[in-house]
Amino acid sequence: MLWASQHARATLLIGIGFLATCAGAGVAAASNEAAAIVATSPTRDTTSPITPVPALDCVTGVGYPDFDPFPTGQLNVGAFFDRLRRSTTDHFMVKYFVPPTPGRYRIEGFSLRVFASGGSDVLQAAGVIKTRADKPRFPSRDALQSLQVLRVDGRGLDIDTCVDVAPHDILLEPGDAAWLVIQFPIASHFIGVLADVNGPGNTDRGGDYLSRDSGDLWYRPDPTQSVTYDWAFTPYVSSLARSPETWTAWTAYKQLYR
């Protein structure tokens, strides 16, 4: 796993699988503080592919999945650091998103799949945090405490759980990017989200990060290890018309000097 310090303001240059393919966006990462560590297996592996659903019931727009569809496992961010895989509200998972082509977009929301081995499967919060594509920055502690949607009810592994941010009117102008963020609850039982895990021929998309300390340190599964992880989050966006250009008549400028 790779890590980077938020307080050291490490510069992020991240490579995203389909984004690199579609938009030529950028490369990997970190600062001179970045280092590799070995983590215990964080998943409960299955061999079932992700079953598509006809339509989302709370998100509109076009979806841009950034993961291979199978095989899958359920991932808990706490599993990277706790053999009992307990979660707390300090645990966050984020996925980086850049629109596939330049333009103006509105983020309608994103989907994921949530599984609980017992008890509640309600996530503490979820939302979207904007950044810049040329110099993306990890979400700060303050930003992580201001996510738009509180208490996201999981719907199990067979159907998408939808995070609807359309009412918040999150716009991406040309050059903008976004983090899709979920916050785990306090739970003594396993709560996981679906991830693409080490499938035959799949690739590490490079846009998946997690934090166990409210963003003070960010971690990325080490792509040099034999197991790859891609969070199965799908952003949904709508294209918007370009902002109208405004022109000021030369006579108006002359008025300034009279």
Choice among 133-137, 160-164, 188-192, 201-205 with the minimum mean pLDDT = 201-205
Maximum C-alpha span of the chain: 76
Residue 31: how many CB atoms within 10 A of its CB? Answer: 13
pLDDT above 70 covers what percent of the chain?
67
Q: At residue 236, does pLDDT exceed 50?
A: yes
Distance of alpha carbon 238 from alpha carbon 61, whole angstroms: 5
Choice among 105-109, 125-129, 153-157, 186-190 with the minimum mean pLDDT = 153-157
pLDDT of residue 234: 92
Token pair, residue 59, equals 């998100």
Please tell me which residue, 91 or 222, carries the higher pLDDT value. 91
Q: At residue 32, does pLDDT exceed 60?
A: no
**Averaged pLDDT for residues 45-71:** 61
**Averaged pLDDT for residues 152-160:** 83
With bands split at pLDDT 50, 70 and 90, how would you rate the model's confidence at 47?
A: very low
pTM score: 0.74
**Averaged pLDDT for residues 119-147:** 92
Residue 135 CB contacts under 8 Å (≥ 6 apart), including other chains: 11, 12
**Averaged pLDDT for residues 116-140:** 90
Residue 47: name the closest of 66, 72, 83, 22 by CA: 72
**Residues 105/98, Cβ–Cβ less than 8 Å:** no
pLDDT of residue 52: 40
pLDDT of residue 254: 56
Residues in the chain: 258
**Residues 19/66, Cβ–Cβ less than 8 Å:** yes
Choice among 5-14, 34-43, 197-206 with the minimum mean pLDDT = 34-43
Choice among 128-132, 161-165, 190-194, 203-207 with the minimum mean pLDDT = 203-207
**Averaged pLDDT for residues 133-152:** 93
Q: At residue 163, does pLDDT exceed 70?
A: yes
